[in-house]
Structure 1
Amino acid sequence: MSAAGVIATIAGRRLGRELLALLALVTVMVPLLFITAVVSVIGSHRQAAAEACGEAVDAGSVAVGGGLPAGLSPGARARFHEPLQMEPGRWYRTGATRFSDGTGGVPDPAQSDLSQHPDTFAELSTATTNPANTRTFRFNDANAVGALPYMTALRVAKGTRSAIVYKRDVGYGQGADTTASGERYRIDLLVPVADQLGVSKDEVRIALAPRTGAGPVLGETPDSPPSGGSAVTAQECAAMRIPTGGSGPLPLTPGHRARLLPNGHAAAPERAPRAVKQIIAAGNQLVGKPYLYGGAHGAPLSQVMPAYDCSSSISFLLYGARLVDVGYTPASGDMAASLGEPGYGRWVSVLANGGHVYAYVAGLRWDTHNAVTGEQGAAGIGWHTGRRDDLSFTPRHPKGL
């Protein structure tokens, strides 16, 4: 063989070995690169979700594909097919719908007639298809907020409105439907409370209601929902984990008489009717507000205003128990003539004349100023301990109180 042939043979063998080595490298590296890319994508989703909503996203909680709607935020994508694991004292963003069924699933017959319980919600399902199409729909199928036990109380907030609702029903719900910002619909609200909050198919914030005091009864919770628009910032998500300075649960005191607290608020008597506790809870929201003649007149009683006068503050307290309409803010003279029924009440008495109005609620006086020497209580609008001379005032009371 000539020298040129020898060189060609050697070159061919070397090229063959290099091609084989390259082929082996490609065979090993391509799967590794693919796996690395997938892990990177999933990891980035988890990280984005954690940063966006302060969540500890564990392995397997992020579904890739799986019928997820387009346009979900990282946080919503991470938990779309997962129930919310609700923690006390924390607010969650979700979707709420409106329903009008007359009978709930709660086993207690006293709770199952929903026409008697307007403060009702149904927990929805996270299933992609309705289980009732193939079998009986079960309690555990309704798991969008963690398969909560019947009669669990949630606080639902939309804008400046909020309400306490109780789980008395379950349902399949909205499937893969989402709010405009990508949040899944997880609860159904019965028509009366849905209309009270202005919910048809809307985004809301929900939190577990406290189990102590009168919180579950009155809608008072240790914190307030974060403010702002529909988008939840990282800072707002972080704030959901801690109390934000709300009024807190209504404190209770034994017996039939309210008790003045050092901060000027009132503790409601444990044996008082629900409406009396609601009146006291409403009053606690106004303690310390400045007096302004004509203040808060013309504003809806569902809103807390910067300042009040005597009649508008009394109206706010009565609206707290829904004893008057949301637009009820008459002058004191009108209250003396037409409010409720004539005479003193057992729990609530409103004393009015043409120039002023005040009230007694479970033994404490609600007034806009100190009127008795040495009495305790707020210097202005709030609860007071002294009983003032009422000879020039007309007493009236809400029916039944």
Structure 2
Amino acid sequence: MKIILKRTLVAAIVLGAFTVTAQQNRDLDNYRPVDKRGVNVFENPKSNESTFNGVKVRIGGASTIQFQGLDQENSGLAGLELKPIGSNFNLATANLDLDVALYHGVRMHLRTYLSSRHHPEPYVKGGYIQIDKLDFVSEGFLEDFMQYASIKIGHMENNYGDAHFRRSDNAQTIHNAFVGNLIMDSFTTEVGAELFVQKNGFLGMLGISNGKLNQSVVKSSEEGSTGGASFLAKFGYDKQINSDFRFRLTGSIYNTGYVPNSYLYSADRAGSRYYRVLEAATAGSDNFRSGRYNPNLRNQIRAIMVNPFLKYKGLEFFGTIESATGKATAEASNRTANQYAGELIYRFGKDERFYVGGRYNTIDSEDLNDGDVEISRFQLAGGWFFTDNVLMKIEYMNQKYDGFSTTNVLNDAKFNGIMLEAAISF
């Protein structure tokens, strides 16, 4: 524990020093701001202008803490007693970001979780190199193509769907209008590469990864190989129609024929924002995914997500339509889990520093153990950006479970209440 505290203290001192001494011109080329300016930004922006004037290191970070006041209950059947919870603060989480301009049109990103719900020690989430120019090959190489294209290579967050751009990433929560992420939280980090092209509002992405969250050269006993591969694609349209109205619509696919273990809905090692909810009284360790749902399509998966986004002045709508089909190798047939979510948010005040909004999120799934199940969540939230770097949120949420068996702690379960969250990002 002393080592962990020392590492965190050193990182905090470094972050503070760089924050004080490097306030001016901290942005990089083709970079999504991590503060309020990054709200409703999806993929990194694309510009052919280069400000490179030697290697530039941007050190940033984020810190977030919640006060949780949730109540919970289930059917109360014998053997399904819940671990009692009360109101108090959750663990303060922290991120450290390194973003480095390496050359004209070439930069690196690396994110480390300094503290998170699941891991007691700092660890690297992932990182990538982004290439927007190929001048390192020769000046002007393929410039007619690269003026529209970006290449990302790394052990990185996959660009599947648009919901992952609005989710909380451990302490980086300032782009999420709510406290919790979606119930079926599609997020994973895998070794791979993506080619992203955008022109006149149209956008497209093709990617491939090795389908593995935990890297290993050990062969699988089932397939006799070290793993499979995952294919990703995204196509859509994103246009600021006029000064008042923006329209975006994208469709994405994530597909794998075989992997030793698919983590698409369970890869977030940072953990859920709803701590210790609906845990059995006999449970020992913390179920860091509490409040989320993983359809457990273990070895084969095909997931499709469609996301509409509309913003008219201060009013915005973001939707998620998702269907995931797959199975474990030992299963005889595929199972399907469907997710639907809609967010309606109104931003107001000077520079839209205030907002109120609601989200409704539902799941219907062919569960591996319980058959047909349903989960629904309603969230009502409000927020105030004190500055571009500081956000305070309040959320009321209510989540219900239906169809789970009488041997499952989620039988006729629900939890609801108030969450407060303070977020800093720089």
TM-score normalised by length of structure 2:
0.24
Greater per-residue helix proportion: 1
Greater per-residue strand proportion: 2
Question: Which is greater in Rg?
Answer: 1
TM-score normalised by length of structure 1:
0.25
Q: Which has the higher contact order (CA 8 A, sep 6+)?
A: 2
